Amino acid sequence: MIILKNPIAETPQKKLSYYKALNDIANQIHSARNLNEILINLQNQILSVFDADRITIYIVDWKKKEIFSRFKAGTVPEEIRVPLANQSIAGYTVQNAQIVNIANAYDRNELQMINKDLVYDQSWDKKSGYVCKQILSVPIFYKKYLIGVLQLFNKKQGPRFSLEDQTSAVEMAKVLGIAIFNQRKMTLKTKKRTRFDYLLENNLITEKELERAVFLARDRKIPLETVLLEDLKVKKEEVGRSLAQYYNCEYIAFSNRFPIPGDLLINLKQIYLRNNLWVPLQRESGKVRILIDNPQRLDKLDSIKSLIPAEQYEFALGLKEDIQQFLDYFFGTPHEQNQGSIDDIMGKLDAGHAEDQEEGAELLSEDDSIIVQLVNKMIIDAYQKKCSDIHIEPYPGKQGAEIRLRIDGACQKYQTVPYHYRRALTSRLKIMAELDISERRKPQDGKIQFKKFAPLDIELRVATIPTVGGEEDMVMRILTAGEPLPLEAMGMSPRNHERFLNMIAKPYGIILVVGPTGSGKTTTLHSALAYINKPETKIWTAEDPVEITQKGLRQVQVQPKIGFTFAAAMRSFLRADPDVIMVGEMRDHETVATGIEASLTGHLV
C-alpha cells in the first residue's frame, strides 16, 4: 500500500500557510480581467504551492472533439492538441471525468492499470528536452459542465503528488472553471462582430488561419475573400453566407437564370459598375433588387438611388466574382458572349444533313457563324480552366476531330467536332492566325491576337502539323502574361533557392533552364531577371514570343521569317554593351556557340 503524504502540510502551521497561499491565488484569479496574463504572473506561486515543476491548462473543444493547451509553462510547442480519447492522459481525464495521478508516465504497467489504451506520448519530451515523470491530471468543471483539464508535472519532493495535492488541485480546478467561464462570457460581450464570424463559429477556419489570411491579403494587396477562397480553400457559398450574416441580408451567387434587366441597364456603363462592384438584378412591384459587395457603403447606396429611381430598394450581398459574372452575362462579354454552353453550340452543328457531303470545305461554309462561336467558346473555356495548350486532332474517315485541353500537365478531352466540320474548324483558326489556309502539306506557325475576335485580351501561339489522310493537327499555346513571380513564390527548396540566387548573382557564366513544355522555364527565367533587374545592370532578352514584360529589360521579339533569329539577336546584343543576356531558345549550333562565347567574355547568359 502506498501512503500519499504532502510534506508542506505536515504541521498545522504549514497547513495553514498552504491553504492561505491557495486562497490568495484563487482571489487573484477571480479578480483578474485577463486570465492568461494573471496565470503568467502566478505560475511560480501555483507551482510552489503544489511543489511541482510545470503546469499546463487545457480547454475542451467539443465541436472538434479535442482539447488544446490554453496555458503552459516551459519550452513546449506553441499549441498542443490531442483528441478526446483514452490514448492520452489529458484525453482520458476528459473522456472519463476522472483524476489521474501517475508516479511514472514512462511505466507502461502503471498506465495499463488505469486503462488498457492509455499511453504517454514521449515525443513531446523529445521535442522540448524535458522529461515528465509524475503527472497529476484533474478535470476542470463549471457547474456540471466539463470545460478543461489542469495538469501538474514532476513533484519536486516525494515520489508522486499526494492526496492533499489532489484535493487542492480539485479546488484550483473549480477556481479555474469559474474564471474560464467568466472570461468567455466577457469576451462574447465585448467582442466586436467581424465579417467572418460565421466561418469561425462553424469551425470552417480557425482564429490563426484568419489572422494569417489578413496578413496575406495586406501583403499581396488583394481582398481578404480572395485569400479565403484560394489559399484556405473555403467554399464560395460559405464565404458568401458569412458576409450576408454580417450585413444582415441575402447572399446571391451568380446564375444565368436571371433575366437580363434591360430597362435597369440602359443608362449604366459596364466599366462604372465593374469598378464600383454593384449590378441591378430586377425590378418587381416597384422594388429594385441590387447586388452589391458592401450593403453598408452609404456613398454607393446614394449613387445607386440617384441612378435608378424606385419606390423601394432591396440590397443583396454578392462576392466580387459573382458581380463580375453577372456583368459579363448581362452585357454579353467574355463569360456569356458565346450564346450558351459548348453543348448548346455543338447541338447547333447538324451532324446528320451532310453525311454524303465532301468532308468539309477549305473555306468556311454557311455554318461559319456557328464555327466562329465554337472557336471563341473553346478558347475562352480553355483560358478560364487555366489550360496551357489546346490540341485539335482530326482523325481520318468519318471519326471527326477531337479537342483536348492540357490542364495541370495532363490532357483532358473537351469536345468532339463532327467530321464534316473539322476542315472548317482548322480553316477558321488559320484565318485568325493569319496562316495560309490552302497549305496542308507542311507545318506552319503563327499567332492569334484573340482580342481582335472577342473581348478577352490573350495571345495564342499556333502550330499546324500535317497528319495522315491529308489532315492537320493544330496545337495552340495560351501565352502567360503579367508580372513575373517573385523567386520566393517559385516553390524551390531552401537549398535550391540559395544555390540559384548564388548562380544568378555571378557577373558572368551561363545558366541553362531546361524542362518539358509548360514546366515553368519562362516563368523561372523572368523571376530570376526580376531579382537581378537593377538600374546598374543592362539586360537584353531575345524571346519568341515575349510573354512577360518587365520595366528595365530591353526585350526583343525574334522574327525567323525575315532572318532575325536567336543567333542574330545575340550577335546584336554583344555589340550593345550587355551585362546579362537571356535567350528564349537554344536549338541550333550557332546560338549555343554564341551563348558560350558570351558567357566566357564577361557576360551572364
Q: Using one digit for the tens of pLDDT, what is the confidence trace for 313-346?
A: 999 999 998 998 888 888 765 544 444 566 666 6
**Residue 346 exposed, middle or buried by CB count within 10 Å (0-12, 13-18, 19+):** middle
| Mean pLDDT computed over 572-576 | 89
Query: What is the band of 125 on the pLDDT scale with cuts at 50, 70, 90?
Result: confident
pLDDT at 356 over 80: no
Is 598 within 8 Å of 580 (Cβ atoms)?
no
Angstrom distances, CA of residue 523 to CA of 30, 180, 527: 59, 52, 6
> What is the SS3 assignment for 499?
helix
Cell of 199: 466561418
Between these two residues, 373 and 100, which has the higher pLDDT value? Answer: 100
Q: Of 122, 123, 138, 132, which Cα lies nearest the Cα of 154?
A: 132
- pLDDT score at 74: 61
Cell 498542443 locates to: 80
Query: Sheet holding 81-83: strands in order across?
Result: 81-83, 66-72, 52-61, 145-155, 135-142, 100-102
- pLDDT score at 137: 92
The 10 Å Cβ neighbour count of residue 466 is: 15
- pLDDT score at 139: 92
Element containing residue 62 per DSSP (H, E) = none
CATH number, domain at 280? 3.30.300.160
Cell of 345: 453550340
| Mean pLDDT computed over 131-142 | 90
Domain shared by 171 and 67, yes or no: yes
Angstrom distances, CA of residue 321 to CA of 291, 378, 559: 12, 21, 39
The 10 Å Cβ neighbour count of residue 370 is: 20
Q: What is the pairing mode between strands 52-61 and 66-72?
A: antiparallel
Domain shared by 467 and 492, yes or no: no
CATH number, domain at 68? 3.30.450.40
Domain shared by 161 and 259, yes or no: no
Query: What is the band of 582 on the pLDDT scale with cuts at 50, 70, 90?
Result: very high
Is 231 within 8 Å of 208 (Cβ atoms)?
no
Angstrom distances, CA of residue 514 to CA of 388, 441, 477, 517, 587: 18, 31, 18, 10, 12
* Helices of type H across 315-421: 320-331, 342-348, 368-384
DSSP notation for 446-492: EEEEGGGTSS---EEEEEEEEEGGGEEEEEEEEPP-SSPPPGGGG--
Confirm whether 530 is domain-assigned: yes
Confirm whether 204 is domain-assigned: no
Mind listing the pLDDT tens digit for each residue in 394-414? 888 777 889 999 988 888 888
- pLDDT score at 357: 43
Distance CA(92)–CA(86), nearest Å, equals: 4
| Mean pLDDT computed over 363-369 | 48
Confirm whether 148 is domain-assigned: yes
- pLDDT score at 447: 85
Domain shared by 326 and 410, yes or no: no
Q: In Å, how far from its chain's centre is CA 186? A: 34
Angstrom distances, CA of residue 428 to CA of 233, 383, 418: 39, 19, 15
Distance CA(423)–CA(428), nearest Å, equals: 9
Encoded amino acid at 57, one letter: I
Domain shared by 470 and 500, yes or no: no
Domain boundary among 302, 331, 360: 331
Between these two residues, 485 and 212, which has the higher pLDDT value? Answer: 212
Distance CA(65)–CA(228), nearest Å, equals: 24
Confirm whether 605 is domain-assigned: no
- pLDDT score at 349: 60
Listed in sequence order, the residues at least 6 apart from 336 whose beta carbon sits closer than 8 Å to its beta carbon are 256, 328, 329
Mind listing the pLDDT tens digit for each residue in 524-564? 888 888 888 888 999 999 988 777 778 888 989 888 878 88
Domain boundary among 331, 353, 370: 331
Query: What is the band of 34 on the pLDDT scale with cuts at 50, 70, 90?
Result: low
Distance CA(125)–CA(132), nearest Å, equals: 7
Query: Sheet holding 278-284: strands in order across?
Result: 278-284, 287-292, 312-317
- % the chain with pLDDT above 90: 13
Domain shared by 107 and 171, yes or no: yes
Query: What is the band of 509 on the pLDDT scale with cuts at 50, 70, 90?
Result: very high
Confirm whether 184 is domain-assigned: yes
| Mean pLDDT computed over 109-129 | 86
Domain shared by 312 and 412, yes or no: no
Confirm whether 396 is domain-assigned: yes
Could you give the number of structural domains in the chain? 4
Mind listing the pLDDT tens digit for each residue in 227-251? 888 888 888 889 999 999 888 999 9
Is 404 within 8 Å of 393 (Cβ atoms)?
yes
- pLDDT score at 470: 81
Angstrom distances, CA of residue 104 to CA of 133, 165, 288: 5, 17, 72
Please state, rounded to an integer, the average pLDDT across all residues of the chain. 82
**Residue 123 exposed, middle or buried by CB count within 10 Å (0-12, 13-18, 19+):** exposed
Confirm whether 2 is domain-assigned: no
Mind listing the pLDDT tens digit for each residue in 306-317? 888 888 999 999
Domain shared by 184 and 229, yes or no: no
How big is the CA angle at 233 (ends 230 and 236), to the nearest 5 degrees? 85
pLDDT at 510 over 90: yes
- pLDDT score at 355: 43
- pLDDT score at 352: 41
- pLDDT score at 316: 93
- pLDDT score at 252: 92
Domain shared by 173 and 263, yes or no: no
Listed in sequence order, the residues at least 6 apart from 553 whose beta carbon sits closer than 8 Å to its beta carbon are 529, 533, 539, 540, 541
pLDDT at 364 over 70: no
**Residue 148 exposed, middle or buried by CB count within 10 Å (0-12, 13-18, 19+):** buried
pLDDT at 518 over 80: no
Domain shared by 392 and 437, yes or no: yes
Domain shared by 553 and 504, yes or no: yes
Q: At what angle do helices 35-50 and 12-31 cross, to 10 degrees?
A: 170
To 10 degrees, the CA torsion angle through 481, 486, 489, 495? 130
Distance CA(549)–CA(1), nearest Å, equals: 82
The whole-model pTM stands at 0.39
> What is the SS3 assignment for 283?
strand
Query: What is the band of 604 on the pLDDT scale with cuts at 50, 70, 90?
Result: very high
- pLDDT score at 358: 43
DSSP notation for 210-255: HHHHHHHHHHHT--HHHHHHHTS---HHHHHHHHHHHHTS-B----
Is 26 within 8 Å of 175 (Cβ atoms)?
yes
> What is the SS3 assignment for 363?
coil
Domain ranges, residue 458? 342-478
pLDDT at 294 over 60: yes
CATH number, domain at 421? 3.30.450.90
- pLDDT score at 345: 66
- 574-599 exposure pattern, b = at least 16 Cβ within 10 A, e = fewer: eeeebbbbbbbebeeeebbebbeebb
Confirm whether 53 is domain-assigned: yes
pLDDT at 112 over 60: yes
Mind listing the pLDDT tens digit for each residue in 417-449? 887 788 888 888 998 888 888 888 889 888 888
Between these two residues, 74 and 244, which has the higher pLDDT value? Answer: 244
Domain shared by 22 and 167, yes or no: yes
Domain boundary among 443, 478, 513: 478
CATH number, domain at 561? 3.40.50.300
| Mean pLDDT computed over 584-596 | 88
